[in-house]
Amino acid sequence: MRLLLISNSTNYKEPYLGWCLPLIEDFLKNEKKNILFFPYAGVKIGGKNFPESYDAYLERVKGIFAERGIHVTSIHQAACPVEAVNNADVIMVGGGNTFNLVAEIHRHKLIEPVRRKVMEGTLFLGWSAGSNVACPTLRTTNDMPIVMPESFNGFDFVPFQINPHYLDPYSEEINDAIGHGGETRQDRINEFLSVNPQITVAGLREACALWVEDGEITLKGNRPLRIMRHDVDAIEIEPNTKFDFSFNIK
């Protein structure tokens, strides 16, 4: 099983997919024949409303990859989505709203076909919501539940939850400056861990990614990965470190 789970598509003041495209190309290597894109998280892309936004999302991604000789098709244009999955060399899932993404995946009965293909060796890469859906469930997304999916279940490629775009709590000085008095991202994750004490959450900071290959994970990027468990002090895993699914360092 080979996965590339990216926190974010775009860094501030950088082109779309700018920071992570070299990483994606390295991950793909020679597997560039038939990339199947999932645009279902894109509910407001290019000024378009859902579901026309799927077309706009495809064109945005397709244009970037075409410049590098990589052909991309989209599952939303497939006559038979399951057949499209079965014929894919690479499955690529874009970011956006995780609830809409998961709702569409379940509506088209794609959980098991995608899971089977990836477990058999088909490459999987996703950013933001596309990383979240690689987890057992979507329950550590940052998104508003704009739709009610049939199930919160994801593809369950990794046995832990990812929180993409993980943000460290602001300092007291910044809170004073911006007048923030509400919950932090850490507060919300702590609530999740309180009611799900058996589950580990990986806080994936911006411009970072998890490269998963044959049961081993490598943290890519220049920021640490934050590992959070119930009633246990969080730990930080440094960039380029290799570790297993239990976060034991290799």
Distance CA 39, CA 31 (A): 20
Catalytic site positions: 128, 143, 165
> What radius of gyration do the chain's Cα atoms show?
18
For β-strands 201-204 and 161-164, DSSP reports them as parallel
Which tokens in the block code for residue 139? 């329950």
Burial class of 187 by CB neighbour count within 10 A (0 to 12, 13 to 18, 19+): exposed
DSSP 170: P
b/e sequence 34-70, b meaning 16+ C-beta within 10 Å: ebbbbbbbbbebeeeeeeebbbbbbebbbebbeeeeb
Task: Report whether 7 contacts 26 (CB < 8 A).
Answer: no
Question: Where do runs of H (alpha helix) occur along 149-247?
Answer: 172-178, 185-195
Give the C-alpha distances (Å, rounded to integers) separating 38 from 30, 115, 125, 240: 21, 14, 10, 28
Question: Where do runs of H (alpha helix) occur along the chain?
Answer: 21-28, 52-66, 81-87, 98-107, 111-119, 129-132, 172-178, 185-195
